[in-house]
Amino acid sequence: MGHGHGHGQAVAPGSASGRYVRALLISLFIGAGFMVLEFVVGFATGSLALISDAAHMFTDVLGVGMALAAIVLARRSGPTLSRTFGMYRAEVLAALANAVLLFGVAGYVLVEAIGRISDPPEVAGLPVMLAAGAGLVANVVSFLLLRSGAKESLNVRGAYLEVLADLIGSVGVLVSGAITLTTGWRYADPIIGVAIGLFVLPRTWTLARRALRILFQHAPTGVDVGEISTELAALPGVEDVHDLHVWTLTSGMEVASAHLTIKGEAEQSAVLTEAQDLLSARYAIKHATLQVEAPQCARRCQEMSW
């Protein structure tokens, strides 16, 4: 009978991630430089805590690089006849890959630390503190650059969590170095290494869960699909709402589709406009494909098995 493809009043030129390319680039170069420094000092001194922090910084650098690559891919590979939604999901895949990396690093640190607790090696406290202090400064700069983007984009949030883990890790290494330098207690280094690994795990699980929700096309967090259905059904001229789907393409790009069965006297264009305005104004869903149909056309939908 009729359909509409609504984009609301204004459409962003791309995903939310695309607005933070410069911040991601700066974070990438900062992280790469200090990662090399921490690895060199960590292996030279035998500090597990510093090697742990450097390993987290490696995942930070790799994670930020994947986030940037996903943004570039999404920008250059726009919608086509075969890829109707473009390559925006690459950003979500990058976030999930970041989570897998963090799980791997945390697991390595925990296993290595447990092996060292029985016979902890001597660690030079001063070089560890100096390297960790430099890493802390680098992480603070990257943290501030990515903080606002983490609220808008799951892709940027993945890189932000990498940086946050590194920041906490640098603080832990400083504490470990200070304890070693002042008391000579050799257990400080492996214990701090374990603490860094345990700190990362719950945040990593949250990131992975959010990425999987998008990949499985679940409704966006905080969006009540039942409430949307009720409000659409309450619009003047609407008799029934069915085949309602709401999902996220990538962060900042929510999508919806639905069939609206209208009453005989209702005007299709008026119902379509009101429905699009409702989704855009109340739920920030600016990309909605709505099919407006007469009651007799709804029978086919009822015959569908999924």
Among the ranges given (130-139, 211-220, 279-288), the one the predictor scored with the smallest mean pLDDT: 130-139
Grade residue 278 by pLDDT with cuts at 50, 70 and 90.
Answer: very high
Structure tokens at 215: 């990949």
Of 198 and 77, the one with more pLDDT: 198
Tell me the chain's radius of gyration from C-alpha atoms. Answer: 25
Q: If you average pLDDT over every residue of the chain, what do you get?
A: 79
- Whether the predicted pLDDT of 77 surpasses 80: no
pLDDT at 7: 46
Grade residue 185 by pLDDT with cuts at 50, 70 and 90.
Answer: confident
pLDDT at 265: 82
Q: What is the secondary structure of the chain as a DSSP string?
A: -EEEEE--S---SS-GGGGGHHHHHHHHHHHHHHHHHHHHHHHHHT-HHHHHHHHHHHHHHHHHHHHHHHHHHHHHS---SS-TTTTTHHHHHHHHHHHHHHHHHHHHHHHHHHHHHTSPPP--HHHHHHHHHHHHHHHHHHHHHHHHHHTT-HHHHHHHHHHHHHHHHHHHHHHHHHHHHHH--TTHHHHHHHHHHHHHHHHHHHHHHHHHHHHTTPPPTT--HHHHHHHHHTSTTEEEEEEEEEEEEETTEEEEEEEEEE-TT--HHHHHHHHHHHHHHHH---EEEEEEE-GGGHHHHHH---
Grade residue 241 by pLDDT with cuts at 50, 70 and 90.
Answer: very high
pLDDT at 195: 79
Distance (Å, rounded) from C-alpha 53 to C-alpha 35?
8
pLDDT at 141: 87
Distance (Å, rounded) from C-alpha 301 to C-alpha 306?
9
- Whether the predicted pLDDT of 222 surpasses 50: yes
**Domains of the chain: residue spans and CATH:** 16-215 (1.20.1510.10), 219-303 (3.30.70.1350)
pLDDT at 285: 92
Residues pairing with 3 in the sheet: 291
Q: How far is CA 183 from CA 123, 192, 196, in A?
A: 12, 15, 21
Structure tokens at 56: 């987290």
Among the ranges given (16-20, 85-89, 148-152, 287-291), the one the predictor scored with the smallest mean pLDDT: 16-20
Instruction: Classify residue 170 as left (phi > 0), alpha (psi -120 to 50) or beta.
Output: alpha
Of 183 and 12, the one with more pLDDT: 183
Of 35 and 279, the one with more pLDDT: 279
pLDDT at 78: 65
pLDDT tens-digit map of 248-267: 987 778 899 999 999 888 89
Structure tokens at 277: 């305005």
pLDDT at 4: 53
Q: How far is CA 110 from CA 49, 102, 177, in A?
A: 11, 12, 19
Grade residue 40 by pLDDT with cuts at 50, 70 and 90.
Answer: confident
Q: Is the pTM of this model over 0.75?
A: no
pLDDT at 8: 41
pLDDT tens-digit map of 3-26: 555 444 333 345 556 677 788 888
Grade residue 277 by pLDDT with cuts at 50, 70 and 90.
Answer: very high
pLDDT at 15: 55
The closest alpha carbon to 228, from 273, 288, 153, belongs to: 288
Among the ranges given (14-23, 29-38, 41-50), the one the predictor scored with the smallest mean pLDDT: 14-23
pLDDT tens-digit map of 113-149: 777 777 766 666 677 778 778 878 888 888 888 887 7
